[in-house]
Amino acid sequence: MMGKLKTYLLSPTTKLHRWEAIFLVILAAAVLCCGWLSQRQAELAGRMVRLHVIANSDTEEDQALKLLVRDAVLAEASAYLEGAEDAQQASAILTEHLGDLAEVGQSVVAGKGYDYSVSASVETTHFPTKTYEGFALPAGAYQALRVVIGAGEGQNWWCVVFPSLCVSAASEWQDTAVSGGLSQDDVALMSGADEGYVLRFKCLELWDALQNCIQGN
């Protein structure tokens, strides 16, 4: 795309009004920014495993149950991942214990008097831009531990199971992130040390939506 734009601008037959030239320069800058951020998101995604918990429905009771299942699954998963050195190893460990994780969630559901099923899987999932206490993550595809309660038609709960940012205190998440294999550049991107990061994350989300629309997804 950039090559075609450059060829068009340099063509001797191309005559642009001032506003057209300004628009094309802004467009070129946006494409470069989105391309860079898309690459950074992919690098960041390769260093973490996220958590995706889906409630049975949006009733108050089912949403409260979702949080209880989340807490139990997080505690169990964190114990399994204590010796994990990177996201690939963490993913393999979680895959090995999917039955155990589903069973933990099932026990919580049954203990509260519900007969919903609980399933657990490790798969690539698309996440929207998400802001947490102290950090944010850009939209994009991430490997995730996905826990579905019952019909799975309720609101989601997202976080990061490896490194264990879900359970880290706001003041400690950066140390947890680095010890889990994230780089200082990753931490700077997530923490907002790079000014304007949330706006760029939203731009990336729009960029993803545009690409999916063009591709017919």
Strand-strand pairing, 118-127 and 140-149: antiparallel
Quick one: pLDDT band at residue 188, thresholds 50, 70, 90?
confident
Burial of 77 (0-12, 13-18, 19+ CB in 10 A): buried
Query: 6-22: per-residue pLDDT in tens?
Result: 454 445 445 556 666 56
- The predicted pLDDT at position 28 comes to 52
Distance CA(156)–CA(127), nearest Å, equals: 10
Query: 117-152: per-residue pLDDT in tens?
Result: 999 999 998 888 888 877 888 888 999 999 999 999
Quick one: pLDDT band at residue 169, thresholds 50, 70, 90?
low
Residue 21's alpha-carbon distances to 4, 173, 180, in angstroms, are: 15, 44, 46
Helix axes 87-96, 60-80, angle to 10 degrees: 110
- The predicted pLDDT at position 138 comes to 84
State the residue for tokens 């706001």: 170
Query: 153-164: per-residue pLDDT in tens?
Result: 999 998 899 998
